[in-house]
């Protein structure tokens, strides 16, 4: 499924690519759909030839291996690839071991073809080994929503027993709640509307704050404040509104990109030494840690699946917000 024009996917047949040095060819079994795909599809370059194939939550089996690929990767091995398409091992960030910040790394589905396809070519440095305990469809969302929230919580500075607020109860937020609960935090979910209260409780949140029903920051302050706020929301105003709810030396970890500038009053940062930090997804090693933790504590994504041929229909539902909580494309023609 390639981007026919901005906002529209079309089903086509392409010649099977050959893996280059340091690359593998993956026979895709499942590819998750992510909110970031919307930007990739809506803002695609219509003049690009061939048109881009989106998708960056890919799980499949190695079909072919290029020259100079490490021996750990073998034909038939089940692997994944996420948003970061494999570090270069040569830039200044790689030399520091900060592979997630590589300056020469493809962005899967945006600067290189992604997983809305039966076959995808990928750099070996971006590969993630998939545990046997996870099905391909359930593992796919963990390569973006899973690793992003897992890493954000580990970077939050919170310790077991601390109050951690999760802003945004969607594809990322529903994983953040599960991980936070299992990491031993007191989990406060912050969302919009009473209709999701039952889902939030089932996912493991101790408290749900409905911003339609009251001021979430004030409610958190009455609890003594949050040691950390994990923001998965794309609403800059909603994110900024929770900064006053942070305890002294608390940390706001921003995952969701916002179109509007994030308004931060310096006094909240200075008085109380609070922090605002960003967090990207993670390295392949960190992704494998997130997958292993998911298996260990039985944290799984909630998703629907549809076959690749119905990707355009699935995408339109994703755009409307008519998905709970993730959508996964599979190569099985009989999926509904």
What pLDDT digit, counting tens, does each position of 199-239 carry?
999 999 999 999 999 999 999 999 999 999 999 988 999 99
**pLDDT score at 332:** 75
Residue that the structure tokens 């990207």 belong to: 280
Tell me: pLDDT of 336 over 60.
Answer: no
- For residue 66, what are the contacts with CB-CB under 8 A and spacing of at least 6? 18, 19, 20, 21, 22, 23, 24, 124
Where along the chain do the CATH 3.40.50.720 domains lie?
A: 146-278
Cα separation, 120 vs 63, whole angstroms: 10
Where along the chain do the CATH 3.90.180.10 domains lie?
A: 2-144+282-330
**pLDDT score at 333:** 56
Tell me: pLDDT of 109 over 60.
Answer: yes
Structural contact between residues 248 and 224, judged by C-beta atoms closer than 8 angstroms: no
**pLDDT score at 334:** 47
Q: Which of 169, 172, 175, 222 is nearest to 192 (CA)?
A: 169
Tell me: pLDDT of 256 over 80.
Answer: no
Tell me: pLDDT of 30 over 90.
Answer: yes
Is residue 193 very low, low, confident or very high in pLDDT (cuts 50, 70, 90)?
Answer: very high
- Over the range 48-85, which residues count as b (16 or more CB within 10 Å of their CB) and which as e? eeebbbbbbbbbbbbbbbbeebeeeeeeebbbbbbbbb
What does the pLDDT average to over 264-269? Answer: 91
Cα 77–Cα 78–Cα 81 angle in degrees, nearest 5 = 120
**pLDDT score at 21:** 97
What does the pLDDT average to over 123-127? Answer: 98
What does the pLDDT average to over 151-178? Answer: 97
Structural contact between residues 166 and 230, judged by C-beta atoms closer than 8 angstroms: yes
**pLDDT score at 257:** 76
Tokens of 71: 């021996």
**pLDDT score at 335:** 44
Tell me: pLDDT of 273 over 70.
Answer: yes
What is the fold, at CATH topology level, of the domain defined by 146-278?
Rossmann fold (3.40.50)
Task: Read off the pTM.
Answer: 0.94
What is the fold, at CATH topology level, of the domain defined by 2-144+282-330?
Quinone Oxidoreductase; Chain A, domain 1 (3.90.180)
């Amino acid at each position: 499924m390639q981007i026919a024009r901005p906002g529209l996917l079309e089903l086509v047949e392409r010649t099977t690519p050959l893996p280059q040095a340091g690359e593998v060819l993956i026979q895709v079994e499942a590819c998750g759909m992510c909110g970031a795909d919307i930007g990739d599809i809506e803002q695609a370059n219509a003049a690009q030839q061939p048109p881009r194939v989106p998708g960056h939550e890919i799980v499949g089996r190695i079909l072919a291996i290029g020259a100079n690929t490490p021996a750990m990767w073998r034909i038939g091995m089940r692997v994944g690839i996420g948003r970061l398409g494999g570090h270069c091992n040569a830039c200044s960030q790689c030399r520091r071991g900060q592979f997630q910040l590589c300056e020469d790394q493809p962005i899967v589905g945006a600067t290189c073809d992604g997983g809305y396809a039966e076959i995808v070519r990928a750099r070996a440095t971006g590969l993630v080994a998939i545990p046997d305990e996870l099905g391909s469809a359930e593992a796919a969302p963990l390569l973006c929503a899973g690793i992003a929230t897992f890493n954000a919580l580990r970077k939050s500075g919170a310790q077991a027993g601390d109050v951690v607020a999760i802003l945004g109860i969607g594809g990322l937020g529903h994983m953040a709640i599960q991980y936070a609960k299992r990491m031993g935090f007191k989990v406060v979910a912050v969302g919009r509307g009473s209709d999701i209260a039952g889902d939030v409780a089932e996912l493991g949140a101790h408290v749900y704050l409905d911003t339609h029903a009251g001021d979430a920051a004030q409610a958190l302050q009455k609890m003594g404040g949050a040691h950390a706020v994990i923001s998965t929301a794309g609403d800059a105003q909603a994110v900024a509104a929770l900064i006053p709810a942070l305890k002294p030396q608390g940390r706001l970890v921003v995952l969701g990109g916002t179109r509007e500038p994030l308004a931060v009053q310096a006094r909240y940062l200075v008085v109380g030494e609070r922090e605002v930090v960003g967090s990207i997804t993670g390295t392949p090693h960190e992704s494998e840690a997130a997958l292993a933790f998911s298996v260990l504590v039985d944290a799984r994504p909630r998703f629907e699946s549809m076959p690749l041929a119905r990707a355009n229909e699935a995408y339109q539902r994703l755009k409307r917000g008519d998905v709970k909580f993730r959508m996964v494309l599979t190569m099985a023609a009989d999926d509904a």
